[in-house]
Amino acid sequence: MRLSKTLLTSLAAAVIAAAFASPAAAQQLPYGGWTGTMTPPGGEPITVSYEVGELDGALAIVMRAIMVQEVIPFHDIRVEGDALTFWWEPGVRVDCRLERTTTGSYEGPCSAAGDSAAGRLTMVPPVGGQE
């Protein structure tokens, strides 16, 4: 079977588009209200909620804790493979690297630069929002 030049060009364009679409798809998390905990270094877990969505075409996450009145935005959010990285600023910059679990949640350490003590965040997706 001989394929026309137009069909071959279309197939090549589709393969290239699929290859470039994968990283964008990897940046997605289920949108909506997530739950979880924030554990400060040496402290007890605090129940928090997260809102995952989009702002200006980019992935956006904000965190709310019962004991903190303000909304805490996350910055430079990246989803690469099973890792979710970002930073936030509760007075000092705190960098986080959360790993995806088998249940679709994310868990991992967060620490300030030069600080050997790490806190921990967990993020549990909304029911029905697991990928």
56-69, pLDDT tens digit by residue? 999 999 999 877 77
Residue 88 located in a structural domain: yes
Residue 4 located in a structural domain: no
* 31-49 b/e (C-beta count within 10 Å ≥ 16 → b): eeebebbbbeeeeeeeebe
Residue 11 located in a structural domain: no
Domain with 39 in it: what CATH number? Answer: 2.40.128.120
Supply the pTM of this predicted model: 0.75
Residue 5 located in a structural domain: no
Q: Which residues does 106 contact at the CB level (< 8 Å), separation at least 6? A: 84, 98, 99, 100, 121, 122, 123
What band does 27 get if pLDDT is binned at 50, 70 and 90? low
Number of domains in the chain: 1
